[in-house]
Amino acid sequence: MICKYFMLIITIGYFGCKAQEKLENKFQSCVPCDMINALDLKDTVININQVEDFLCSVQSKCQNNVEFTEYSNSVIFNLLEKKTVLFLKAFSESNRIDKEYILRQISDPLKDYDINEITLKVEKIKCNKQTKESIIKALRGL
């Protein structure tokens, strides 16, 4: 009987460690100013994990990296234009991203984008109300 409890404790400990390891790996995969994540999203078929990894790499500590900032700004707007649902879903569900910094990026586009068209797309999507409102405010520069 003691042997069964011992095996149960070892098994729980093992799987608990594996779960913690996966959680730690998730956060380690977030590399600030990661140009590879930005390049991967420019013209390829993407999924929610790729969008989240990219958004996670866009952090305020990157603001002095001009090349990354310019490129990531264009990827953000490309996602808002073409992959609106994925962008909003990743933005609203992830706790790994610097949302305030991304909103500042959206409120200060580095190129000319059709902000009205993007705003209309965002307004039509069913998602978290607070997320939608914050993105729309940023798009309008408020």
pTM of the model: 0.77
Q: At what angle do helices 66-82 and 84-93 cross, to 10 degrees?
A: 120
Look at residue 6 in the predicted model and tell me its pLDDT: 46
Mean pLDDT by 10 residues, the chain (142 residues): 51 45 49 88 80 95 95 95 95 96 96 96 95 97 84
Look at residue 83 in the predicted model and tell me its pLDDT: 94
Look at residue 9 in the predicted model and tell me its pLDDT: 52
Report residue 61: phi and psi, to 5°.
-70, -5
Report DSSP letters for 70-133, one per residue: HHHHHHHHHHHHH-HHHHHHHHHH-SSS-HHHHHHHHHS-SS---HHHHHHHHHHS-S-HHHHH
Cα 124 to Cα 85: distance, rounded to the nearest angstrom: 10
Structure tokens at 11: 């098994």
Look at residue 66 in the predicted model and tell me its pLDDT: 95
Q: What angle do CA 102, 41, 24 make, to 5 degrees?
A: 70
